[in-house]
Amino acid sequence: MTCQVMRWGGLAALWLLVGTASAQYKVVGPDGRITYTDRPPAGPAARLSGAERAAGSAPVELPYDLRQAMARYPATLYTAPNCSPCDSARGLLRQRGVPVREFSVVRAEDLAELQRREGAIELPILRLGAQRLQGFEASDWQTTLDAATYPRTSRLPPTWRAAPAQPLVPVATQESDPAPAGAPRLRPIPDTAPVLPAASGQFRF
């Protein structure tokens, strides 16, 4: 299954631990590691309470075999709002405990960047290293995750929290580079994207 978006519509670097008494923000990286910093981060972050700032915290340590799979085949997921196949794909990855960096395709700028990166606008798309899965077919995704040596069931620690989906093109970039006067105003993609069938296929690493 895929979502067809309308026209307008290696592993991420590990976060370094800076959890000191002066830290004010808590950031969960796409690999599950937690960073404590006193500088406002560019992405979403949780502001620490006074007790947390005083106590600090250690990063979440992931199991060795999971870290090995992440190092060889880092996972990146591209999704869209109100996309049933995207929800199914996300659910499968959560069930298997695959730490994934998720990007949401919402605006015309996101759509253009997705086209540039992947040469396609059908969602969801999962990147496992150099391997690409487009459209959600549970059996294909399970087989490919098995080949990438990701555990069949979640091995994530209870304290691990997934990072929220990020815009494919950072919003701050667009705000700092406004459209020229007279440029046509882009319409957002519709709330409901049509679902298209995707052919099942064999995937190799």
Segment 134-166, tens digit of pLDDT: 999 999 999 999 999 999 999 999 988 888 999
At 165, which CATH number? Answer: 3.40.30.10
* Residue 128 forms part of a structural domain: yes
* Residue 69 forms part of a structural domain: yes
The pLDDT confidence band at residue 34, using thresholds 50, 70 and 90, is low
Over the stretch 80-137, which tens digit does the pLDDT of each residue have?
999 999 999 999 999 999 999 999 999 999 999 999 999 988 999 999 999 999 999 9
Whether 110 and 170 have beta carbons less than 8 Å apart is answered as no
* Residue 186 forms part of a structural domain: yes
SS3 of the chain: the string is: CEEECCCCCCCCCCCCCCCCCCCCEEEECCCCCEEEECCCCCCCCEECCHHHHHHCCCCCCCCHHHHHHHHHCCEEEEECCCCHHHHHHHHHHHHHCCCEEEEECCCHHHHHHHHHHHCCCEECEEEECCEEEECCCHHHHHHHHHHCCCCCCCCCCCCCCCCCCEECCCHHHHHHCCCCCCCCCCCCCCCCCCEECCCCCCCCC
Q: Please check the confidence at residue 21 and state whether its pLDDT lies above 50.
A: no
pTM greater than 0.85: no
Q: Please check the confidence at residue 181 and state whether its pLDDT lies above 90.
A: no
Whether 203 and 145 have beta carbons less than 8 Å apart is answered as no
* Residue 19 forms part of a structural domain: no
* Residue 135 forms part of a structural domain: yes
* Residue 17 forms part of a structural domain: no
Number of domains in the chain: 1
* Residue 53 forms part of a structural domain: no
Q: What pLDDT score does 71 carry?
A: 94
Q: What pLDDT score does 171 carry?
A: 84
Full residue range of the structural domain in which residue 94 is found: 2-9+62-196
* Residue 52 forms part of a structural domain: no
Q: Please check the confidence at residue 44 and state whether its pLDDT lies above 60.
A: no
Q: Please check the confidence at residue 52 and state whether its pLDDT lies above 60.
A: no
Mean pLDDT of 159-177: 78
